[in-house]
């Protein structure tokens, strides 16, 4: 378990996600600021790009959060197992010391008694050192879990911000789509009115031609028969 490398990678990824979130927020503000200057199609395309980036970052943040949650659960299980096994030396220490003490009382030779005392002190020192190492390891894992939980909270906040931004962009896109649909309906209505006007003008032209032909006929009849 390369805890140090994992913590460094976790910190780097968290910083990258935070930086990307800020950059996307700045891009969103830029799109809003230039919304009135650009056309509707360009604004709709820009909003679509922003929403796509926000959705991808939100998905990546959620996946990273899931990985951290799994990591936290593994650390908890490791700590639980280590605490379970670390209780055994502590519990057997007084018993071992008592047994060794009884054996020294049964020994009648001073040298043997001294050797047992030295052996007892050595075992006690080793057990205490082992307990200190285990406590240090458990504390290190506890600090790691605390850092991961803090990162998960920050990622949750970023995820909520992204969800809010995506919702705003979707509402903007819906308004733009509604405006485009209204404009399309207006164009179709105008096209229909133009066709009606063209048909009206065409029918009027035929009427004028008919009237002109009638006038010519009357003129010819008048000239031929009355002249």
What are the residues whose beta carbons fall under 8 Å from the beta carbon of 34, sequence distance 6 or more?
Answer: 43, 46
Q: Residue 126's pLDDT is what?
A: 61
* Ordered per-residue pLDDT tens for the chain, 227 residues: 567 777 787 788 878 888 888 888 888 788 777 766 666 677 777 777 877 787 787 777 778 777 777 877 777 777 777 666 655 544 444 444 444 444 444 444 444 445 544 555 666 666 566 556 655 656 666 666 677 777 777 777 777 777 777 677 667 667 666 766 776 777 777 777 777 777 776 777 777 777 778 878 877 777 776 65
Taking the C-alpha atoms of residue 167 and residue 2, their distance in angstroms, rounded to an integer, is 39
Supply the pTM of this predicted model: 0.46
Q: Residue 222's pLDDT is what?
A: 72
| CB-based contact 52:191 (threshold 8 Å) | no
Task: For residue 7, give the nearest of 82, 68, 57, 73 by alpha carbon.
Answer: 68
Q: Residue 97's pLDDT is what?
A: 42
Q: Residue 14's pLDDT is what?
A: 79
């Amino acid at each position: 378990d390369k805890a140090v490398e994992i913590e460094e990678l976790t910190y780097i990824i968290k910083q990258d996600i935070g930086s990307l979130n800020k950059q996307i927020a700045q891009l969103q503000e830029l799109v809003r600021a230039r919304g009135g200057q650009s056309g509707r199609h360009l604004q709709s395309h820009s909003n679509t790009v922003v929403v796509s980036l926000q959705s991808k970052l939100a998905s990546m943040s959620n996946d990273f959060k899931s990985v951290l949650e799994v990591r936290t659960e593994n650390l908890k299980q490791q700590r639980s197992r280590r605490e379970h096994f670390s209780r055994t030396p502590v519990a057997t220490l007084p018993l071992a010391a008592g047994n060794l003490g009884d054996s020294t009382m049964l020994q009648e030779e001073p040298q043997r008694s001294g050797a047992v005392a030295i052996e007892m002190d050595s075992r006690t020192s080793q057990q205490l050192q082992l307990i200190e190492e285990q406590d240090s390891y458990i504390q290190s894992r506890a600090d790691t879990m605390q850092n991961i939980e803090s990162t998960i909270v920050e990622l949750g906040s970023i995820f909520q911000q992204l969800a809010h931004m995506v919702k705003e962009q979707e509402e903007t896109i819906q308004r733009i789509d509604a405006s485009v649909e209204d404009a399309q309906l207006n164009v179709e209505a105008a096209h229909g009115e133009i066709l009606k006007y063209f048909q009206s003008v065409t029918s009027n032209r035929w009427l004028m031609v008919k009237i002109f032909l009638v006038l010519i006929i009357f003129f010819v009849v008048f000239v031929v028969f009355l002249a």
